[in-house]
Amino acid sequence: MLDADFFRRWLTTAAAAVDREAERLTELDSPIGDADHGSNLQRGFTAVAATLEKEAPDTPGAVLTLAGRQLISTVGGASGPLYGTLLRRTGKALGDAAEVGAAEFADALRTGVDAVAALGGAAPGDKTMLDALVPAVDALPTSFAAARAAAHEGALATTPLQARKGRASYLGERSIGHQDPGPLRRPCCSRRWPRSRRGRGMSDNGKLVGIVLVSHSGPVAESVATLATGLAGGGTAPVAAAGGTEGGGLGTSSELIAAAAHRVDRGAGVAILVDLGSAVLTVKALIAEGDELPDGARLVDAPFVEGAVAAVVTASAGADIAAVEAAAREAYAYRKV
């Protein structure tokens, strides 16, 4: 039977493993994510271990619920809500029992995994943590060793998959060949994707596509630029905001847009995203002039915020202008409900 002390030791061991593997998890995350997965989980599990030293819940369910709450409140990005939900829902499913059997734990963990799938809208095969979690839960009734082996195999099996959920999905086919960092694991075989490595959809001159964000409001343009760059993990693609008029009012300025485009031009093209219809006309007029914008500048039809994030993530990965445009346009398909 498994008691509260077992789960405290389990989580403390997990925290030590995350601390030990944080750098390698970040290496896995770098080519297809924000390059912060390891540090985020390290921060969260350090908080879990510290909390469990101070508090001593007396049931397995209470231990897991407390740990999940800590992860949600301390881990940045999507990992916090996902891992936190996994533990909290598992803990709640265990209830107030002082001890639980392996079969009961397996059933409760499946409840947690189902909650993660519902929260993220993902399924096995989408190149997410579920590709390791689902096989592990299926194997858990056999033994903990079988569950660990199944999780390991599931994690490795994400390498040839194309990501369909999460930040990696912005890269489309370029996510193929990289192991997903989501599942907690010890063995890691991927290496950092060097900037010089190129393939289909990658810039053939080693330069990065520039991104210009045009809004009728200067603060909105600046905020979206900051948001997109931040969500791209401080992406390396050059990004410039061109919002409002030169006097600081609402509207658009062809001079500000042209200046921003030239600032971010690195010779690989410039993707221009806009918020409203009149901004579309302003950019189209600049393009029609022929000599106002850098060569290769193009207007991208995409939702302003989601498209900006997708464009910056994709450009920062070294993609060419066509791939950046395609990633931004695909943001129209994102569903929020």
Any idea what DSSP says for residue 49? H
Q: How many residues does the chain have?
A: 337
pLDDT at 142: 77
Cβ-based neighbours of 233, under 8 Å, separated by 6 or more:
33, 34, 35, 36, 316
Backbone φ and ψ for 99, nearest 5 degrees, come out as -140, 150
User: What CATH number is given to the structural domain containing 274?
Assistant: 3.40.50.510
Report the b/e string of 143-172 with b at 16+ CB within 10 A: eeeebeebbbebbbbbeebbbbbbbbbbbb
In the chain, the amino acid numbered 148 is: R
Q: Are 105 and 167 contained in the same domain?
A: yes
Q: Are 227 and 117 contained in the same domain?
A: no
Q: Are 217 and 167 contained in the same domain?
A: no
User: What CATH number is given to the structural domain containing 25?
Assistant: 1.25.40.340
One digit per residue, the tens of pLDDT, for the chain of length 337 reads 889 988 988 898 888 878 877 676 656 545 544 545 567 788 888 899 999 988 889 999 999 999 998 888 787 666 778 888 899 999 999 999 999 988 899 999 999 999 888 877 777 777 678 888 888 888 888 777 677 778 878 777 766 666 555 555 555 565 465 444 444 443 332 222 223 334 434 455 558 899 999 999 999 999 999 998 887 666 578 999 999 998 899 999 999 999 999 999 999 999 999 998 889 999 998 998 888 999 999 999 999 999 998 898 888 867 889 988 988 888 887 666 6
Residue 312 to residue 258: CA distance in whole angstroms: 19
193 lies in a domain? no
Q: Are 69 and 130 contained in the same domain?
A: yes
Helix H or strand E segment including 33 = none
Q: Are 23 and 82 contained in the same domain?
A: yes
Tokens of 44: 């969260």
106 lies in a domain? yes
pLDDT at 303: 95
Could you tell me if 15 and 45 are in contact, meaning their C-beta atoms sit under 8 angstroms apart? yes
Q: Are 157 and 250 contained in the same domain?
A: no
pLDDT at 198: 40
Q: Are 144 and 257 contained in the same domain?
A: no
Could you tell me if 94 and 86 are in contact, meaning their C-beta atoms sit under 8 angstroms apart? no
Statement: the pTM of the whole predicted model exceeds 0.95: no
pLDDT at 193: 25
83 lies in a domain? yes
Q: List the domain range (segments joined by +) for residue 99.
A: 2-175
Q: Are 237 and 132 contained in the same domain?
A: no
Could you tell me if 263 and 257 are in contact, meaning their C-beta atoms sit under 8 angstroms apart? no
Q: Token pair 């498994």 is at which residue?
A: 2
pLDDT at 131: 84
Chain Cα centroid distance, residue 213: 21
Total tally of structural domains belonging to the chain: 2
Which residue among 120, 148, 175 closes a domain? 175
Longest dimension (CA), the chain: 76
Residue 165 to residue 203: CA distance in whole angstroms: 24
Name residue 3's beta-bridge partners: 99
Residue 297 to residue 209: CA distance in whole angstroms: 9
